[in-house]
Amino acid sequence: MKLTGFDIKNFKGIKDAKIRFGHNDVARVHTLVGLNESGKTTLLEAMHSFSPDAETQLVVRNAKSVQEQREQAVPRDKIANFSGEVSITAHIEASPADWKSVQDQLSEENGLLLEGSNLPGSFTFRLVHVYRNGDFQRTSRNINIPELKVKRKRQKQFHAPESEDLIAVGKAIRNRLPTIAYYPTFVFDFPKRIYLTDRDNAPRNQFYRQLFQDILDYDGNGYTIEDSILARLHKIDSQGPWEKWFAAFVGTSEEDKVKQVMARAERAVTKLVFSKWNEVFGENAGAKEISIDLQYERGKDIQNADGTEEEASLHDAYIRFRIKDGANVFSVDDRSLGFRWFFSFLLFTQFRIHRENQRPTIFLFDEPASNLHAAAQKKLLESFPAIAQVPHRLFYSTHSHYMVEPKWLEQAYIVFDRLSSPEESIIDASTQSESTVDVQVVPYRQFVQERPTQTSYFQPILDTLEVKPSNFDYKTGGLIVEGKSDFYFIRFASMITGIELGPIFPAYGSGTMGSLVALHRGWGLPVRILFDSDRGGKDGQKQLKRDLALSDQEYVELSTICPSAKTIEQIFSDSDRKLLVGGASENWKTALLRRVQELVAAGSKPTLDSTSRSDMHLLVSSLRKFSVTD
């Protein structure tokens, strides 16, 4: 089953917000763009609360319990008197195979038969937390399938489900939904020690302890922290005061068995993390290895009821991650901020997506790499598609324009507070009452359509993030094109041919290119424009020649460099256009653009015929020559 969107009501600063994402199964990385205090974190927490995974559930807001998380969900200004519902409604798609799996589970585990002739392909599942005077009362889950009918194996007629039946059906459905893993910024602060015992049961230590268990699981030998490590440390015949235990365990065959487990874990981390490191950064790790040191610590003295202390007979163990490079050994927490961040990121994601029998995962990252430099942020973006492969999906929030990938804008969202003023200071925004907050989530496509006077297709992103040019920006120009269709089709052709192009600036049609040309003129940059060879393109040429003294050397028509194409869609052959559009009911140009956007976002290269490939090669190679300005 697939999650395709959420409706969120009364969750902290969100009064009523909707987010949809299931329409796109090819491009599976989604950007949440907004300034600080815009509500991005609140949106991620709301999404996570619907189907939280066990590992990241307690790190949300560093809550000590699920109950504490529920108390945090109400608006802060109503914490003492909120009465009502906080609800997350999930939109779900289910295939016939999904329903067959649900039917099999219900029959086997509950003796319940599900009538299958009228099961829907899509439905909603509502999670509701009820509060009275600020106190959490109960949680309910409501499935919106009016046509649902069930019967027990000995019953003759199907009937509307009773409460007990709905609970069983809901459980079977939840077992097939993606789990949602949320990674707040603070979990990337790699700890010096990870206790394997219960000496440290803080949420962050529990999170990293589960991460180490993931590493053991990946090795495939069935090792567990409890049975393969702690059970050997705490065997009855070796229990006792610290000195007795140390002599009875250290240097024995029992410790050798534990060390073998650690060696297997080291090998698994080294292999998986550094192979992915090489792939993302193009750096050969060479002889570097990950060392996982197991250390022992004297147990805390036991406090008796009469006030006396008793020496502990069970002692603690913790691990440290270190990097071995030849004879040199470095602690991970002593390395650079960038190294620690990426090391943690690879640990979190790689072992999770390699779990066996793992439900699909929706990864949520809050402001990833926000304190790293632009080059590191770009590398992070390049790694996201590999994580968000089918059946997984990835959302990340950002307020950095370096973390916005242009080819993903069609599945991006603008997050903003509808009631805040753009002139409001950061301090004012952070201290405003939640009664004056109304977090909204708008798809970028809709956000652009509501702002038709913007300079370019990218301008709303720059305005949302309040990007201002520095003295080091805009040192090179780019290719100005009429609109986003030109942008995506040219990027697609570049991807297919492997010929790289520089920046491409899409306007809002040939009649709106003047602002971009004026900016280039003002910055002293070379102007290079591609016009379609239709009426609109020719009118745009005349306007720019008249208004901004556009010279013949500063523009080119599409048909001049690609004779078979008057408009950008015609770089595809008729057969390839039909293949990509399929049976779409919408206008074929709209359907083709949407399909190309998905392919560009996913980096997917379909098989094209020789006519399309030839025209694309001619287009991109000619644009590359045209764009070069010495």
**Residue 452 above 50 pLDDT?**
yes
- Bridge partners, residue 115, by sequence: none
Q: pLDDT-derived band of residue 422, with 50, 70 and 90 as boundaries? A: very low
Q: How many helices (H) and strands (E) does the chain have?
A: 21, 23
Q: What pLDDT score does 423 carry?
A: 47
Q: pLDDT-derived band of residue 297, with 50, 70 and 90 as boundaries? A: very high
Q: Which of 31-40, 254-263, 309-318 has the lowest mean pLDDT?
A: 31-40
- Pairwise pLDDT comparison (447 vs 522), residue with the higher score: 447
User: pTM for the whole thing?
Assistant: 0.78
User: CA torsion angle for 120, 140, 56, 402 (degrees, to 10)?
Assistant: 60
Q: pLDDT-derived band of residue 60, with 50, 70 and 90 as boundaries? A: low
Q: What is the mean pLDDT of residues 458-482?
A: 67
The structure tokens listed for 129 are 């937390």
Q: What is the mean pLDDT of residues 507-517?
A: 81
Give 316-347 pLDDT, tens digit per residue: 999 999 988 877 888 887 777 777 888 888 88
Q: What pLDDT score does 282 carry?
A: 66
Q: Identify the sign of the CA torsion 336, 338, 339, 340.
A: positive
Q: What is the mean pLDDT of residues 418-442?
A: 62
Q: Which amino acid is at 495?
A: M
Q: What pLDDT score does 61 carry?
A: 52
Q: What is the mean pLDDT of residues 455-468?
A: 63
Q: Which of 5-9, 284-288, 427-431, 596-600 has the lowest mean pLDDT?
A: 427-431
**Residue 434 above 70 pLDDT?**
no
Q: What pLDDT score does 431 carry?
A: 52
In the chain, what are the domains? 26-74+359-465 (3.40.50), 83-176 (no CATH), 187-355 (no CATH), 469-630 (no CATH)
* Residue whose C-alpha is closest to residue 277's, from 398, 397, 382, 393: 382
Query: What is the DSSP code string of 302-337?
Result: EE-TTS-EE--SS-EEEEEEEEEETTEEEEGGGS-H
Q: What pLDDT score does 470 carry?
A: 56
Rounded to the nearest integer, the mean pLDDT of the chain is 85
Give 571-582 pLDDT, tens digit per residue: 999 999 998 887
Pairing of the two strands 122-132 and 29-33: unpaired
